[in-house]
Amino acid sequence: MKHAKTAILLVLVFLLAGCSALSDEMALDSPGFKMQLIFKLKEGRPYYALNKNGEPIILDSELGMELLEMPNLDANFIVLDRSVESFNETWEQAWGEARYIENRYTELKVFLQEAEGLKRKMNIIFRVYDDGLGIRYEFPKQNNLKEFRITREKTQFSLIRNDSAWWIPAYMPERYEYLYRKTLISEMDTAHTPMTLKTGNGHYLCFHEAALYDYPSYTIYCQDTSTLALDLVPWKDSEVKAFMETPCLTPWRSVMIADQPGDLVTNYLTLNLSDTCQLTDVSWIKPAKYVGIWWGMHIDENTWGSGPIHGATTRNTMKYIDFAAENGFGGVLVEGWNIGWDGNWIQNGEIFSFTKSYADFDLPFLAKYAWEKGVSLIGHHETSGNIENYEKQMEDAYKLYENLGVKYIKTGYVGTSFSNGEWHHGQYGVRHYQRSVELAAKHQLMLDVHEPIKDCGLRRTWPNLMTREGARGMEYNAWSPDGGNPPSHVPTLVFTRLLAGPMDYTPGIFDLQIENKPDNRVNTTLAKQLAYYVVIYSPLQMAADLPEHYRGNPAFQFIRDVPCDWEETRVLNAEIGKYVTIARKDRNSLNWYLGSITNGASRTFDIPLDFLDEDVIYDAVIYADGPDADWKTKPEAIAIQTKKGLSSEDILKVKLAAGGGQAIAFVAR
């Protein structure tokens, strides 16, 4: 894929080959001089620190590795050499929340070698952005370090004080599917990333990683009151975290840094630190909206398994295909089409077949029926975490879809860990998910991964990996005993989970009180459901409710119209966990779309429309909370109106009910 518009690679300084020790301290500014990275060796131990506008933001923090049955790689170093580069490129995403991404950084690579003993080499690479930092380790090929096992990565983020963070706990039964908590970091359990915090002096930091290949993902914990440290996810029953063989690299440890929470949303550090696209042809990769045989199972109207209310029957799937075609949607998800769901499917992952359908589901016929209507099936592979069973069938299963013209797979890995006891987010899991992505690319299949490993920018490298779950999605409203997702949930996700990448949240529930399940409900207004299509970015975006709940409802027009591939994204206002307003421009027209959502409080904003294209006149279709709307008492109340002749000079009053939202389509004349 040749997307680079400009690329300038300047090697600024190459200092000293040979073995004499260099200065033990060096500093590097970001391109716009906003950040300064300091690297130092203190008595042979490597540390880094980071300043923002001359003020410290990360204090001296340790670097290094602890190894099994081998001396650690964390002390006794001398600096052999260093190189400094500056890079400036604008690249184009195959699809995304923005078409063009600027990647502008300075890079320092410090070549370290042990002064005595094994004289092993380890390089540390820093990329310094005006709004972030990346750090990674490189282990060159060398005689005294071939195969090795990492038991601990020592990388720290030593903060100025004990700040407040938004976090979810790691190593828990529901993986990434927890409500975010906000506490002081000293009160945090070991947490997943992205982990976002607000510093006492008003900066927002988000810790995450990029380019995660053949290495465990990391979780983060508070080592002492103000120091965060990495905790690599282990192999099962083992002190080993990563099996390594030189030459090799770790993923980038990344910190996004912003003055406003909204700037975290448009910070593309994770993508920028990821490897460039590995696919030469991406023309077959298509963002799409979809409907599916899905919510019916979550609200007990249908079953995944066989029987009188089996959801994925030929007849029912045809109805969904017709509905998708009528409304211009690209996909129809079918869950429960394949043998293996009868009995306790969560426990019985070994009996799933990924090629054999139930007798009442005619896969070849339906794939063709869909194809003829310009729709693709989205075939579902629930593995229940049984990787052995899935890997045995993957090649045949992916080939089957390719042959039938099924373009999308939704995979699923329900279970606290995989059934062999390995964690989803350890090195074992990273390897499995990677195999699935590469095999899918070989068969020109796009992926939507549920119970995934967190997104670390792989969509840049393998853009057939389109979206993932990896947080509490809509389904929790259908059955979770804790009352579902509270109104503050999505306004928090935007600044935490969604900073990793797209999420298949599955918005668009119109039957908010869930007629079929009187003890459960969706804790939003209807207009907020519409606003999710703009606020939550996903290139595969579901209209999750049953077609009969959409038919005849004028609010459905917004879901028909809203795109899921964007030219540009702007965050117009935000407070984490409270509210956020996002405007995005369609990739294929001059139209703009706005989504604004709030937590349990009602709010009114004056929104300047200065994001609209200059010299273009727009007619706005506004889907607002009705005057008496309230997520608890009157969630369905919606007021739809058109305002004609708006331009970038206008200001719009946007009123959100408690637990509400607003969605606007600005249609260019």
Binding ligand NOJ (rule: CB under 6 A), the pick from 49, 414, 639, 668 is 414
Nearest approach in angstroms of CB 152 to ligand NOJ is 32
**Please, which of residues 244-303 interact with ligand NOJ by CB under 6 A?**
294
- In the annotation, is 475 catalytic? yes
Binding track, positions 459-488, relative to ligand NOJ; x by CB under 6 A: ----------x-----x-------------
Nearest approach in angstroms of CB 486 to ligand NOJ is 19
Nearest approach in angstroms of CB 481 to ligand NOJ is 16
**Please, which of residues 558-587 interact with ligand NOJ by CB under 6 A?**
none
Nearest approach in angstroms of CB 194 to ligand NOJ is 20
Binding track, positions 344-383, relative to ligand NOJ; x by CB under 6 A: --------------------------------------x-
545 binds ligand NOJ (CB under 6 A): no
Binding ligand NOJ (rule: CB under 6 A), the pick from 234, 412, 491, 659 is 412
Of 562, 563, 542, nearest to 320 (Cα)?
542
> Which DSSP string do the residues of 341-358 spell out, in sequence order?
-SS-TTT-GGG--SSPBP
Q: Closer to ligand NOJ by CB, 316 or 427: give it.
A: 316
Nearest approach in angstroms of CB 317 to ligand NOJ is 16
Binding ligand NOJ (rule: CB under 6 A), the pick from 52, 175, 450, 472 is 450
Helices (H), 306-416: 314-326, 363-372, 387-404
Supply the angle between the helices 427-442 and 387-404 in degrees, to the nearest 10: 20
CB-based contacts of 439: which residues, under 8 Å, 6+ apart? 394, 395, 398
* φ, ψ at 472 (rounded to 5°): -70, 115
Nearest approach in angstroms of CB 334 to ligand NOJ is 11
Total chain residues near ligand NOJ (CB under 6 A)? 8
Tell me how crowded residue 6 is: count the other CB atoms within 10 A of its CB.
Answer: 9
Of 230, 246, 254, nearest to 64 (Cα)?
230
Given the residues 97, 382, 475, 567, the one annotated as active site: 475
Q: Closer to ligand NOJ by CB, 52 or 450: give it.
A: 450
Amino acid identity, position 462: W
CA distance 441 to 327: 28
Amino acid identity, position 458: L
Q: Closer to ligand NOJ by CB, 94 or 466: give it.
A: 466
Nearest approach in angstroms of CB 506 to ligand NOJ is 7
Q: Closer to ligand NOJ by CB, 294 or 462: give it.
A: 294
Of 202, 298, 212, nearest to 258 (Cα)?
202
Q: Closer to ligand NOJ by CB, 153 or 469: give it.
A: 469
Amino acid identity, position 591: N
Binding ligand NOJ (rule: CB under 6 A), the pick from 97, 107, 335, 565 is 335
Using DSSP, state whether 48 is helix, strand or coil.
strand
Q: Closer to ligand NOJ by CB, 153 or 475: give it.
A: 475
166-173's contacts with Cβ under 8 Å and 24+ in sequence apart are 166/195, 166/196, 166/197, 166/492, 166/495, 166/496, 166/576, 166/577, 167/191, 167/192, 167/195, 167/496, 168/192, 168/496, 170/219, 170/231, 170/233, 170/425, 171/219, 171/423, 172/416, 173/416
Using DSSP, state whether 324 is helix, strand or coil.
helix
Task: Note the residues at the interface with ligand NOJ (CB under 6 A).
Answer: 294, 335, 382, 412, 414, 450, 469, 475
Residues with catalytic function? 475
